[in-house]
A and B are shown apart, each in its own frame.
Chain A
Amino acid sequence: MKFSVMVNEGPYTHQAADTAYHFTRAVLDAGHEIFRIFFYHDGVHNGTRLTTPPQDDRHIVDRWSELAHDHDIDLVVCVAAAQRRGILDKEEAKRNGKDGDNIAPGFRISGLGQLIEAGIEADRLVVFGD
C-alpha cells in the first residue's frame, strides 16, 4: 500500500513528530511505500538543521534526514508555513533577502499543492498532530 504522512506539530514540544517517524519506519518495515511526508503548521520546525538537542536525547531532525537518505523519502516543508516560522533554503533566503538558510539535508521546500497531491496519489494519508 502507498502511504503519505502529514506532520503538523513541532519536534520535542509534541509527540506528533515522534509518532509520525515511528509510523513511517513501521510502514517501510512492513514492505509498504511512502509517497511523501509533508510538514505543515509548526511541523516545519522538523526541518531545521540548526536543531541542537542535548546529547542524551533523540535527534529528531537528523532522524528524518537519515530516513530520507536511506529510503529515498520525499520530505516536503510547506513554503508558506516555513516562511512564517523562519525555515529557509538557499533559494528562499536569497529571494527574501535573508542572511542565511537552515533547511536540513533531505528536506525540500515547496507548496501546498504537494500536500493535495500526496492525498490524491496515496492510498492513505495519515495525519499526525493536534
Chain B
Amino acid sequence: MKQIDWSSLVINESGKAVKKFMYVNRHAPHGTIYPLEGLEVVLIGAAFDQDVSMAFIGDGVFQLNKGQDTADSGMKNVALTYGALGDYEVTKLYVEQESLDERGLELNDLMNLTWEDEEENWAEKPSIQVVSRAQLSDLLEQQDVILNF
C-alpha cells in the first residue's frame, strides 16, 4: 500500500480531509454521451469542496477544440459548458501534449479557458495546462479518486 503523505493533507471547511479528484476525458465531444454526462459530474462535484482537476487524453483533447458547432447534427453542444468551469472553481485542465501532436492539434486550436484568482486580485489565468504524457502519469499517481469519461 502507498504511504500516506500527511504533509499534503488539506482540511476543508466541513473539517474533513480533502481528496484529489481527477476527471479523465478520453472521448471526442459529440459522438458519445460520455463527455456530456462527465461534465454533469464535474459540475455537481464542484459543490463538494474537493481538490478537482480534469485531464484530456486521446480523442478527449477534441472536447476543447475552438468553434464547435452542433447545430446541423441536433446534438447538445457540450463545448459551451467548458467556459463556465472557472466559475465553478474547476481551474486545472491538463491536456496531454502527445495526444495533441498525434491529432495535429496545438494549444492555439483550443478554447481560451480562464479563471479568476481571488488571491491575486481576481487576475485572469489560463485554465488549460499542456503537460507531457510522463507528467500526466505523475499527476494520475497523486489522485485519490479518478473518474473516466
Contacts and interface: CB of A to CB of B under 8 A. Distances in A.
B148 A116 contact: no
Contacts of B145: 119-120, 125
Given A41-B33, A129-B148, A120 B41 contact: no
A24 to B, nearest CB: 18
Interface string B1-43: 0000000000000001001010000000000011001001100
Contacts, number: 45
A115 B149 CA distance: 14
Contacts of A81: 37
Contacts of A41: 33-34, 37
A127 B16 CA distance: 24
The size bracket of the interface on A is 10 to 19
**Interface of B, helix, strand, loop or mixed by DSSP:** mixed
A104 B96 CA distance: 41
The size bracket of the interface on B is 10 to 19
A6 B44 contact: no
A40 interface: yes
Contact of A115 (B33, B41, B144, B148): B41
Contacts of A113: 44, 47-48
Contacts of B127: none
Interface in A78-130: 80-81, 84, 111-113, 115-117, 119-120, 125, 127, 129-130
Contact of B37 (A40, A111, A120, A127): A40
B40 A112 contact: yes
